[in-house]
Structure 1
Amino acid sequence: MADLYEMIEEELLLSLPAVAYHEEPCIDSKLYSSGKPVEVKREKNPFQVLEQLKSSPKP
């Protein structure tokens, strides 16, 4: 039979949130980014070659 104190401790630990929440943010939202837009580079899709083979006529 499980110990009553261990069961209560387990229930209390499970009822706690995984992360602490604050009512207001810690820092101003303007400080989250540098203000410069980020350039996204388009990488080659490795399946692009397969797509070309699929659309080519079959012999």
Structure 2
Amino acid sequence: MADLTLQQIVESVPKSLLNASDRDLEGFQKILDETIKLREGHRNLQKMIKNFSLSNPMQRP
């Protein structure tokens, strides 16, 4: 998955979002915040698994 540039993100923002109420935008912001946390958590988990695998190779029969 390629990372989007900020310009690409801004260009793809629908008019409905630009015209949304403050309440809707606050809800959307909460979703974005949690999505960022989830993505960071996933990356951290991948690093932990990789580090664990490198330092503790599993014994195979």
TM-score when normalising by structure 1: 0.30
Q: Max radius of gyration: which structure? A: 1
Higher relative contact order (CA 8 A, sep 6+): 2
Task: Report the structure, 1 or 2, having the larger helix content.
Answer: 2
TM normalised by structure 2 equals 0.30
